[in-house]
Amino acid sequence: MRVIVVGGGVIGTMHAWQAVERGHEVVQIEREAEARGASLRNFGLVWVGGRAQGEELDVALRARELWEEIGARVPKVGFRANGSLTPVRTAAELAVAEAALARSDAGARGFKLLTAAEARALNPALRGEFEAALYCERDAAVESRTAQLALREALAATGRYTFLPGREVRDVVGEDGVRDDHGDLHRGDHVILATGAWLSGLVRELDPELPVRKVRLQMMQTDPLDEPLTTTVADADSFRYYPAYAGEALDALNDGQQQPEVAAAHKMQLLMVQRLDGSLTIGDTHEYEHPFAFDTVEDPYDHLVQVAEQLLGRPLPKIRRRWAGVYAQTQGADPIVHRKRVREGVTLVTGPGGRGMTCSPAIAETTANSLGW
For residue 35, what pLDDT band results from cuts at 50, 70 and 90?
Answer: confident
| CATH topology match: 1-80+140-211+334-373 vs 84-137+212-330 | no
Residue 270, pLDDT > 90, answer yes
CATH: 3.40.50.2020, 3.40.50.300, 3.30.2130.10, 3.30.9.10. Which one for 84-137+212-330? 3.30.9.10
Reported residue count of the chain is 373
Residue 342 has pLDDT above 90, yes or no: yes
Can you give the pLDDT at residue 64? 98
pLDDT recorded at residue 150: 97
Strands (DSSP E) along the chain, which ranges?
A: 2-6, 25-30, 45-46, 84-88, 111-115, 132-136, 140-141, 161-165, 169-173, 177-180, 185-187, 190-193, 212-222, 232-234, 271-274, 280-283, 319-330, 338-343, 346-350
Q: Mean pLDDT score of the chain, rounded to an integer? A: 96
Interval 3-24 mean pLDDT: 97
**Secondary-structure class of domain 1-80+140-211+334-373 per CATH:** alpha beta
Residue 185 has pLDDT above 90, yes or no: yes
- List, in sequence order, every residue forming a beta bridge with 338; answer none if it has no partner: 350
pLDDT for the residue numbered 77 = 97
User: What are the tens digits of pLDDT across the range 130-161?
Assistant: 999 999 999 999 999 999 999 999 999 999 99
Centre a 10 Å sphere on the Cβ of residue 369 and count the other Cβ atoms it contains. Answer: 11
The pLDDT value recorded for residue 256 is: 82
| Model pLDDT, residue 152 | 97
- Whether the CA torsion 75, 13, 330, 181 is positive or negative: it is positive
What pLDDT is stored for residue 39 in this prediction? 87
What would the mean pLDDT of 65-69 be, rounded to a whole number? 98
Domain boundaries along the sequence of the chain: 1-80+140-211+334-373, 84-137+212-330
Categorize the per-residue pLDDT at 309 as very low, low, confident or very high, splitting at 50, 70 and 90.
Answer: very high
- pLDDT tens digit sequence for 119-131: 999 999 999 999 9
Name the band, by pLDDT with cuts 50, 70 and 90, for residue 175: confident
pLDDT of residue 102: 97
pTM: 0.96
Give the model's confidence band at 3: pLDDT under 50 very low, under 70 low, under 90 confident, else very high. very high
pLDDT band at 40 (very low <50, low <70, confident <90, very high): confident
Average pLDDT over residues 95-106: 97
Q: What radius of gyration, in Å, describes the C-alpha atoms of the chain? A: 21
pLDDT above 90 coverage of the chain, percent = 95
